[in-house]
Amino acid sequence: MAKGDVKLFGVWSRPFSLRIILALKLKGIEFEYIEEDLSNKSSQLLEYNPIHKKIPVLVHNGKPIVESLVILEYIDEIWKDNPILPVDPYERATARFLAKLGDEKCLEAVWRVFIADGKEQEEAIPPAIESLKPLEEALDGKKFFDGATIGFTDISLSSMVNMVRVFEEIINTRIINEAKFPFLSAWIENYLHFPIIQNNLPRHDKMVEKFRSRRLSYVKRV
Ligand X SMILES: N[C@@H](CCC(=O)N[C@@H](CS)C(=O)NCC(=O)O)C(=O)O
> Which residues in this chain contact ligand X in the complex, by CB under 6 A?
14, 16, 38, 53-56, 67-69
Q: How far apart, in whole angstroms, are the C-alpha atoms of residue 98 and residue 170?
A: 26
Q: How far apart, in whole angstroms, are the C-alpha atoms of residue 148 and residue 197?
A: 15
Pairing of strands 63-66, 57-60: antiparallel
Between residues 68 and 162, which has the closer beta carbon with respect to ligand X?
A: 68
Q: To the nearest whole angstrom, how small is the minimum distance from the Cβ of residue 180 to ligand X?
A: 27
Q: To the nearest whole angstrom, how small is the minimum distance from the Cβ of residue 187 to ligand X?
A: 21
Pairing of strands 32-35, 57-60: unpaired
Q: To the nearest whole angstrom, how small is the minimum distance from the Cβ of residue 154 to ligand X?
A: 16
Q: To the nearest whole angstrom, how small is the minimum distance from the Cβ of residue 55 to ligand X?
A: 4
Backbone angles phi, psi at 79, to 5 degrees: -110, 105
Q: Which of 98, 126, 91, 100 is nearest to 112 (CA)?
A: 126
Between residues 14 and 27, which has the closer beta carbon with respect to ligand X?
A: 14
Q: How far apart, in whole angstroms, are the C-alpha atoms of residue 144 and residue 184?
A: 10
- Residue number of the CB closest to ligand X reads 54
Q: Is 141 within 8 Å of 150 (Cβ atoms)?
A: no
Q: To the nearest whole angstrom, how small is the minimum distance from the Cβ of residue 152 to ligand X?
A: 13
Between residues 167 and 181, which has the closer beta carbon with respect to ligand X?
A: 167
Between residues 27 and 54, which has the closer beta carbon with respect to ligand X?
A: 54
Between residues 9 and 191, which has the closer beta carbon with respect to ligand X?
A: 9
Handedness of CA 151, 206, 11, 109 (dihedral sign): positive
